[in-house]
Amino acid sequence: MRIDSFLNAVNLVKRRATAQDMIAHNAVLINGAAVKSSREVRVGDIIELKFLTHSKRYETLAIPTTRVTPKTVQNDYIKEIA
């Protein structure tokens, strides 16, 4: 699954266009490297989202086939890393 679709599917951003904008401004890193929207996400990837005041890191546990509910996301697809 593409990184922009993944961020939207697991509810880290509200819209895919928002994910694409973040990627275009190098605010999304996978395993420490800036990526393009077409980058495929794999199980075990470390995704870092940079915001204005802070950043968050997540480990990919599984790849969803469709958009999922927020409650399911934290348990099944991603894990926040401190």
For the stretch 26-64, pLDDT in tens is: 999 999 999 999 999 999 999 999 999 999 999 999 999
Look at residue 74 in the predicted model and tell me its pLDDT. 65
Enter the tokens of residue 1: 């699954």
- Class (C level, CATH) for 3-81: alpha beta
CA angle 8, 12, 16 (to 5 degrees): 30
* Contact indicator for 38, 47 with CB cutoff of 8 Å: no
* Contact indicator for 13, 19 with CB cutoff of 8 Å: yes
> Of all residues in the chain, what percent are helix, strand and coil, respectively (each to 5)?
30, 25, 45
